[in-house]
Amino acid sequence: MSQLKWEPTPKGPVAFLGPYYPYRVRNESGHQEVNPKKNQFTTLILDLKVNNPKACHRIFTALNGEIGSGTAITVVPSSDPTKGPTGIRTVAEMLAASKNRTDATHCLVRHKPIAKLATGGNRNIAVHLSSIEVAEPMRIKNKVVWLLDDVMTSGNSLIACQKLLIDAGAAKVHMLALGKTTH
């Protein structure tokens, strides 16, 4: 995997490892088919989404040298608050256990389910702000925080979580998505 790439957003840059090609796309006749652009990195992200241990370890290895010591690590919560452990949370916990970092992986909590974004859910920032809260602000207060997500399409979930963390006292929030949706 390559070094982090940075992309500007209205609320600051977002780092990502590479392009993510959605697994399914519509062909010329409007039918769903497996995306012919799907590559090894996309497959790695899909494996991470199902919490595959090998995929989690590969992503951890790629990120561990990129994220400084002494920071706090947290994740954008799943759209479904009842969902079990996610691959991105597993990676975040692995990162937090390394280099004197703070585990803030349970800091952001989705208290109200939202429609899954990958299947057409509302991507508006307000949807995230009204359904996520900071549960453990002492873990991020006055700290540099790395906010992780698996895939960024609009960036709005990252931006909403960044705002919540800053409002709760984080000194700075670096946003990082493993993959950036590319069509």
CA end-to-end span of the chain, whole Å?
20
pLDDT at 63 over 70: yes
For residues 36 and 62, the model is more confident at 62
Q: What is the CATH number of the domain that holds 163?
A: 3.40.50
Q: Which residue pairs, CB below 8 angstroms and at least 24 apart, start in 40-49?
A: 41/1, 41/17, 41/179, 42/179, 45/20, 45/150, 45/151, 45/178, 45/179, 47/87, 48/87, 48/88, 48/91, 48/150, 48/178, 49/86, 49/87, 49/150
Which residues, 6 or more positions from 41, have their beta carbon under 8 angstroms from its beta carbon? 1, 17, 18, 19, 20, 179
What CA–CA distance (Å, rounded) separates 169 from 88?
Answer: 23
Q: What percent of the chain has pLDDT over 70?
A: 96
> What value does the mean pLDDT take over residues 50-79?
96
Q: How many structural domains comprise the chain?
A: 1
Q: What is the pTM of this model?
A: 0.91
| Mean of pLDDT values over 1-8 | 74
Is the pLDDT at 121 greater than 80? The verdict is no
pLDDT band at residue 117 using 50, 70 and 90 as cut-offs: low
Q: Average of pLDDT values for 91-114?
A: 96
Question: Is residue 121 within 8 Å of 157, Cβ to Cβ?
Answer: no
Separation between Cα atoms, residue 164 and residue 126, nearest integer Å: 12
Distances (CA, A) of 84 to 34, 41, 42, 51, 147: 27, 24, 22, 10, 19
d(CA 24, CA 14): 25
pLDDT band at 119 (very low <50, low <70, confident <90, very high): low
168 or 120, which is more confident: 168
CB count in 10 Å sphere of residue 42: 21
Return d(Cα 180, Cα 91) in angstroms, integer: 17
User: So what's the pLDDT on residue 45?
Assistant: 95
Where in the sequence is the domain holding 124, given as residue range(s)? 5-181
pLDDT of 105 strictly over 80? yes
